[in-house]
Amino acid sequence: MSSSHEGRFVTIYFNDEAFKVPEGLTVMKALEYAGIRFTHGSGCRGGFCGACPILYRLPGDYKFRVGLACQTAVVDNMRISLIPYVPVVPPKIKRSDVKPSPGYVIALFPELTRCVSCNACSKACPQGLSPMDAVQAILRGDLIKAATLTFDCISCGLCSLRCPAEIRHYLVFRVVGRIVGLFYTPKVKTIEHRIKEIKEGKYSKALETLASMKPDELRKIYDSYLKSGRLPEFLEVK
Amino acid sequence: MEVKLVLTRTELNEYIKEYTGRSLSACMQCGLCTAVCPMSRFMDVHPAALIRLLQVSDVDISKLKAIWVCTSCMTCVDRCPRDVAPGMVIETLRLLALRRGIEPRSYSEMPIDINTPTLLLVSYSRKLTG
Amino acid sequence: MKTLLYYPGCSIKKDFTDIEKASMSLLSALGYTVIEIENWYCCGGFSSITLLDHVKQVGAFRTLSIASKQSIKLSTNTILTLCPFCYNVLKRASTLQVNEPGVYRRVAEYLKDDVEPYSGGLSIIHLVELLVAELDNLKKLVKNSLKGLRIAAYYGCMLLRPKNVAIDNPENPLSIEKVLEVLGAEPVDFPYKTYCCGAFHTLGEAEIVSYNSTKIIKSAIDAGATIIATPCPLCLYNLQRYSPYVEAGIKVLHLVDVIAHAIGLHSINKLINLKINSK
């Protein structure tokens, strides 16, 4: 099918079927161009939700390559497989049971002790993270390091797919991140102070007044605020 | 799913030669390995008998309990007068089973909690999970 | 100044931090500077005893690669381990690199993508070996002699087998006994001092550990000991778990704990006035 597209076309293989697609498109757009409709495995289209991981190989090279369909540009003769879901069964966790201890994490996920540091996980990460270093940090007892290393994890599951120890990486990282956030990250004092003020009712009167006003009254206040940068006296809270 | 793992005498001897570098035929059935083994009383087939079994018969490895009892303490390996290394033979059979997905039990059947020493879990995982 | 690289292992870091602290104080008192290896990898807790299980060696070799780099900066080529399992794994890995270049080449090829493969030159020691080499200096540190205490040394498996990595004669080791003598205690020999306690079976078939541990404990009691000292965290856990069930009663302690009492890090009274459990 020729079109007004003046650029070149490349051939990509999806499930071993060949498609001619315009050069320069992402894999996701290219597959849609070819008529494939994404009913699963597509999300934010911005490289952050982890819904569209792909595995692919290039001609003349044995290496497995990974990426996100929405972020990877098509390459001539690439052979693609979509991985919309890697199965994990999350454990049921009660907030009251959560403890800031590596023993808690390892008891929840004992398969962490099967890690042989093969590094298949890091080779599979489309975000360029190192899940192996995070797992080893947990085994060393360093939860904070593990949480810091996996902050950008998008839970795509490719590492778990490749792991010979069958570790459920993104579930582990989620729990570790929560633990570090709950127990180790310093609380923001100004937010705590503001919440206290709100609970004490410092802002209640102003809010009630605003809520009871009519739309054109609100608009007058807003326009005057835009001009002068100041709120009317009855809304100022000291 | 019941997984059977029946290996013929020839296959077993080949695997064992590859994985241990030693030959089963060197065993003279002196019984020293069984005598020094700290786990032999818990095994269905004690080490010397297991070597004899492998010498003469095809074996369904999935039915052996002994391979999950051995702790690889290596006393038999150090003391065997013919260097048959029964401990290495048992670990070979264990590896052959683990690599086909046969495991003695799952983590959910074990008493694991926040105080379980990591070394306990790591050594268990390394030897009895595949 | 004697510098050592230090490989803690998962258990020392999480479950036995007081043993680590005491060990560090002891080493400092003996004149050693101990530097932990950065980003060490879990050794795996056991080596494979077959010839064809290369993937299980990877963690140990990654650690040796990192330690190699650090050793150049720190001008030391010795790694100290506190845990016998870690000692066994790292020692066998470093021996494999020397004795089986064909096998090592395969592992090194695999690791080449991520790290510069270890090329030899590191020596691995366990704390007990270090203490045997420092008996005279250890004697000088003794503040509270353990005179009158009859202590049985329990070695476990990993420091003594296989023969080529043993720190002492596997048939009749005497290293720990030498250390105990220097502290003033009376070492008690007993036939089950190198008998496997049951290791990881605590998780699956606890009867095995119960039987073996009880056998070891009873033998030590029969030989006249009131304390069992062991350098292995797993043996310590297993023996302590089952010692309350042995009627005559005996105290099971980590070797470093005993030393800490003798050199004044812990109160000696706690050791002398031991409550012997009887049920």
Does position C99 have pLDDT exceeding 90, yes or no? yes
Statement to judge: residues C51 and C90 lie in one domain? yes
CB contact under 8 A, A140 and C10: yes
Nearest CA in chain B to A164: B130
Based on the structure, what is the number of domains in chain B?
1
Instruction: DSSP for chain B, please give it.
Output: -PPP-EE-HHHHHHHHHHHHSS-GGG-----HHHHH-TTGGG-SS-HHHHHHHHHHS-EEGGG-SHHHH-----HHHHH-TT---HHHHHHHHHHHHHTTT--S--GGGS---TTS-HHHHHHHHHHH--
So what's the pLDDT on residue C279? 27
Statement to judge: residues C147 and C266 lie in one domain? yes
Of C50, C83, C198, which is closest to B20 when you measure between CB atoms? C50
Task: State the average pLDDT over residues B78-103.
Answer: 94
So what's the pLDDT on residue B3? 72
Q: Is residue C164 assigned to a domain?
A: yes
- Number of A/B CB contacts below 8 angstroms equals 35
Q: According to CATH, where is 1.10.1060.10 located in chain A? A: 95-183
The interface predicted TM-score (ipTM) is 0.92
So what's the pLDDT on residue C273? 55
Which residue of B95, B122, B126 to mutate against A (max A Cβ within 10 Å)? B122
Nearest CA in chain B to C55: B126
CB contact under 8 A, B71 and C237: no
CATH of the domain at C16: 1.20.1050.140
Instruction: Return the axis-axis angle of helices C58-74 and C84-99, rounded to nearest 10°.
Output: 90
Q: Is residue B1 assigned to a domain?
A: no
Characterize the bridge pairing of strands A9-14 and A17-22: antiparallel
Tell me which residue has tokens 């020392």: C12
**Under 8 Å between Cβ of A141 and C14:** yes
Its domain, for residue C49, covers: 2-127
B124 CB neighbours in chain C (<8 A) are 200, 203-204
Can you say whether residue B85 is alpha, beta or left, with left for phi > 0 and alpha for psi between -120 and 50 degrees?
A: left
Which residue of C62, C65, C86, C234 to mutate against A (max A Cβ within 10 Å)? C62
So what's the pLDDT on residue B86? 96
Of B110, B121, B124, which is closest to A106 when you measure between CB atoms? B121
For the segment C191-220, what is each residue's pLDDT rounded down to a tens digit? 999 999 999 999 999 999 999 999 999 999
Distance from CA of C219 to the nearest CA of B (A): 14
Does position C274 have pLDDT exceeding 80, yes or no? no
**Structure confidence at residue C55 as a pLDDT band (50, 70, 90):** confident
Its domain, for residue B49, covers: 6-128
Q: Is residue B37 assigned to a domain?
A: yes
So what's the pLDDT on residue A196? 94
* B71 vs A: CB within 8 A: no
CATH of the domain at C215: 3.40.50.11810
So what's the pLDDT on residue C122? 96
**Structure confidence at residue C276 as a pLDDT band (50, 70, 90):** very low
**Structure confidence at residue C51 as a pLDDT band (50, 70, 90):** confident
A122 CB neighbours in chain C (<8 A) are 114
Nearest CA in chain C to A102: C14
Statement to judge: residues C163 and C120 lie in one domain? no
Side chain identity at A79, as an amino acid letter? R
CATH of the domain at B37: 1.10.1060
For the segment B101-111, what is each residue's pLDDT rounded down to a tens digit? 899 999 999 99
Spatial separation of the C-alpha atoms in residues A102 and A175, rounded to whole Å: 11
Nearest CA in chain A to C12: A140
So what's the pLDDT on residue C275? 45
Nearest CA in chain B to C59: B126
pLDDT tens per residue across all 238 residues of chain A: 555 557 899 999 999 899 999 999 999 999 999 999 999 889 999 999 999 999 999 999 999 999 999 999 999 999 999 998 899 999 999 888 899 999 999 999 999 999 999 999 999 999 999 999 999 999 999 999 999 999 999 999 999 999 999 999 999 999 999 999 999 999 899 999 999 999 999 999 888 988 999 999 999 989 999 999 888 887 777 7
So what's the pLDDT on residue C13? 86
Statement to judge: residues C103 and C28 lie in one domain? yes
Instruction: Tell me which of C127, C159, C180 is where a domain ends.
Output: C127
Statement to judge: residues C121 and C232 lie in one domain? no
Nearest CA in chain B to A102: B114
Statement to judge: residues C204 and C87 lie in one domain? no
Q: Is residue C134 assigned to a domain?
A: no
CB contact under 8 A, C41 and A117: yes
Residues 11 to 40 of B: which have CB under 8 A from any C CB? 18-21, 38-39
CB contact under 8 A, A141 and C13: yes
Statement to judge: residues C102 and C189 lie in one domain? no
3-state helix, strand, coil in chain C (%, to 5): 50, 10, 40
Q: Is residue C136 assigned to a domain?
A: no
B114 CB neighbours in chain A (<8 A) are 99, 101, 103-104, 107
Secondary-structure class of domain A9-82 per CATH: alpha beta
Q: Is residue C132 assigned to a domain?
A: no
B112 CB neighbours in chain A (<8 A) are 107, 110
So what's the pLDDT on residue A14? 95
Spatial separation of the C-alpha atoms in residues C200 and B70, rounded to whole Å: 10
Based on the structure, what is the number of domains in chain C?
2
Does position C260 have pLDDT exceeding 90, yes or no? yes
Q: How deeply is C52 buried, as exposed, middle or buried, from its count of CB atoms within 10 A (0-12, 13-18, 19+)?
A: middle
Spatial separation of the C-alpha atoms in residues A44 and A154, rounded to whole Å: 11
* C58 vs A: CB within 8 A: yes
Statement to judge: residues C53 and C27 lie in one domain? yes
CB contact under 8 A, A99 and B114: yes
**Structure confidence at residue B2 as a pLDDT band (50, 70, 90):** low
Q: Is residue B64 assigned to a domain?
A: yes
CA A77 to each of CA A53, A64, A65, A81, A220: distance values in angstroms, whole numbers, following the listed order:
19, 14, 14, 13, 63
Q: How deeply is B3 buried, as exposed, middle or buried, from its count of CB atoms within 10 A (0-12, 13-18, 19+)?
A: exposed
Distance from CA of C188 to the nearest CA of A (A): 36
Q: Is residue C277 assigned to a domain?
A: no
Nearest CA in chain A to C45: A113
A102 CB neighbours in chain B (<8 A) are 118
So what's the pLDDT on residue C277? 37
Distance from CA of C130 to the nearest CA of A (A): 24
* B108 vs A: CB within 8 A: no
Secondary-structure class of domain A95-183 per CATH: mainly alpha
Closest-CA residue to A136 (of C34, C59, C56):
C59
CB contact under 8 A, A117 and C62: yes
Q: Is residue C77 assigned to a domain?
A: yes
Q: Which chains touch B (3 or more CB pairs under 8 A)?
A: A, C
Instruction: Tell me which of C127, C157, C188 is where a domain ends.
Output: C127
Statement to judge: residues C147 and C114 lie in one domain? no
SS3 (DSSP) at C255: helix
Does position C278 have pLDDT exceeding 70, yes or no? no
Statement to judge: residues C59 and C11 lie in one domain? yes
Can you say whether residue A113 is alpha, beta or left, with left for phi > 0 and alpha for psi between -120 and 50 degrees?
A: alpha
C136 membership: H or E segment, kind and range = helix C135-141
Statement to judge: residues C98 and C213 lie in one domain? no
CB contact under 8 A, C50 and B69: no
Please list, in sequence order, all residues whose beta carbon lies within 8 angstroms of the beta carbon of residue C79, skipping any fewer than 6 positions away: C4, C5, C6, C7, C37, C67, C90, C122, C123, C124, C125
So what's the pLDDT on residue B88? 96
Statement to judge: residues C15 and C64 lie in one domain? yes
A103 CB neighbours in chain B (<8 A) are 113-116, 118
A162 membership: H or E segment, kind and range = helix A158-162
Nearest CA in chain C to A141: C14
Q: Is residue C137 assigned to a domain?
A: no
Can you say whether residue C32 is alpha, beta or left, with left for phi > 0 and alpha for psi between -120 and 50 degrees?
A: beta
Distance from CA of B30 to the nearest CA of A (A): 37
C85 CB neighbours in chain B (<8 A) are 119, 123
